[in-house]
Chains A and B, each alone.
Chain A
Amino acid sequence: MAMSKSVRYLTPLIVFAGLVALLVWGLGQDPREVPSPLIGKPVPQFSLPALEDPNRTVTEADLKGKISLVNVWASWCSSCRAEHQALMALSEVPDFQIVGLNWKDEAQDAMRVLQLTGNPYDLNGYDPDNTVGIHWGVYGAPETFVVDQDGIIRYKHIGPIDREVWEKKLQPLVSELRARG
């Protein structure tokens, strides 16, 4: 009985330790990372003028036939500036295209950023009024969607892309999609 008695005395401590572990785990979670219900679904239909050339339109058809990283960005967004270097490096990789969704921005400001710091995008949709952003469930910049060759949204990353995010999350997915052909 000595054994069971000591277990009984320890029970509150064990329960408390479990609770602490749960709360510590909760602290490590980012509440801003709201899961997107769009994963596994086709990209929403859209039509936007291209940032670089208002006469050209960007539509969901531009996201088919190859893997795309759709990057939501704006010139006013400081985290986008932080991830710009990473995007520049990724634009060298031929496996996918990078399509920008220039979100709630001014075309002039956005173009200036691209001219001054380089343009990692193959294409940019210009969405100053968040008409398309709403359909993609965008709620902040930067956000990055991985869209496969069939135009299905595979992943959404909230926040800037850095080396770790690329190596741990995006690159494995891109390789997998590429292998699938």
Chain B
Amino acid sequence: MPPLLKTILLAALLAVATATPAYTLEEFQFDSPAQEQEFRDLIAKLRCLVCQNESLAGSQAELAQDLRNEVYRMMRAGQSEDEILDFLVARYGDFVLYDPPLKPSTYVLWFGPFVIIGIAAFFMLRAVLRRKPAGDDDMSEAERERLRTLLGADSAADGEPKKPT
């Protein structure tokens, strides 16, 4: 294939790929913008079980569509957010929530990272504390004298603040 044709084809492919229309909620009617916002917030908290890495709000999968309809229907029937979430969790499990609840089966998920950080911190602290403090004893008397002179000379020089030239 000539390079130019290849480039054009590739560009066309990319254009098609990015031109996929974003999902909209136009099919749903709301009484108020606040209600619409509530609906959007709610479906953003729910995972599409088919695609798993998309929320119900973002997914085009048919099941996501069904669940959006169900959430919409329940909301219009006056059910609270918690009632709707409980309904879905009872059927699809905690996995449907992006923000998993804190309970024994999720302790590892919630506390695991802190436990690992704690273990790492313990070993690091131990290693740091075990390191011998740099002892002065390694220096001979002559070295110490030289150090004193150097430090003395240095602090004397620092005594007079230098004016910027």
Residues in A lying within 8 Å of B, measured CB to CB: 31-32, 34-38, 44, 104, 129-130, 133-137, 139-140
Q: Which of B50, B63, B93 contacts A37 (CB 8 A)?
A: B93
Interface of A is mostly: loop
* Cβ–Cβ contact B89 & A134, under 8 A: no
Is B93 in contact with A139, judged by CB distance below 8 angstroms?
A: no
Question: Measuring CB to CB, which residues of chain B are less than 8 angstroms from any residue of chain A?
Answer: 49-50, 52, 62-63, 66-67, 70, 89-95
Known: A37-B89, A104-B62. 19 other contacts (CB 8 A): A31-B52, A32-B52, A34-B49, A35-B93, A37-B90, A37-B91, A37-B93, A38-B91, A104-B66, A130-B63, A134-B66, A134-B91, A137-B91, A137-B92, A137-B93, A139-B63, A139-B92, A140-B50, A140-B63
Q: How far is the CB of A121 from chain B (nearest CB, A)?
A: 23
Per the bound structure, the CA–CA distance linking A34 and B47 in Å amounts to 12
Closest to A135 in B: B91
Q: Complex Cα distance A136/B91, Å?
A: 6
3 interchain residue pairs of minimum CB distance:
A137-B91, A139-B49, A37-B93
Whether the Cβ atoms of B95 and A34 lie closer than 8 Å is: yes
Q: How far is the CA of A37 from the CA of B89 in the complex (A)?
A: 8
Smallest CB–CB gap between B72 and chain A, Å? 13
Report the bound CA distance from A104 to B67 in whole Å: 13
30 A-B interface contacts by CB (under 8 A)? A31-B52, A32-B52, A34-B49, A34-B92, A34-B95, A35-B93, A35-B95, A36-B93, A37-B90, A37-B91, A37-B92, A37-B93, A44-B91, A104-B66, A129-B66, A130-B66, A133-B66, A134-B66, A134-B67, A134-B70, A135-B91, A136-B91, A137-B91, A137-B92, A137-B93, A139-B49, A139-B50, A139-B92, A140-B49, A140-B50
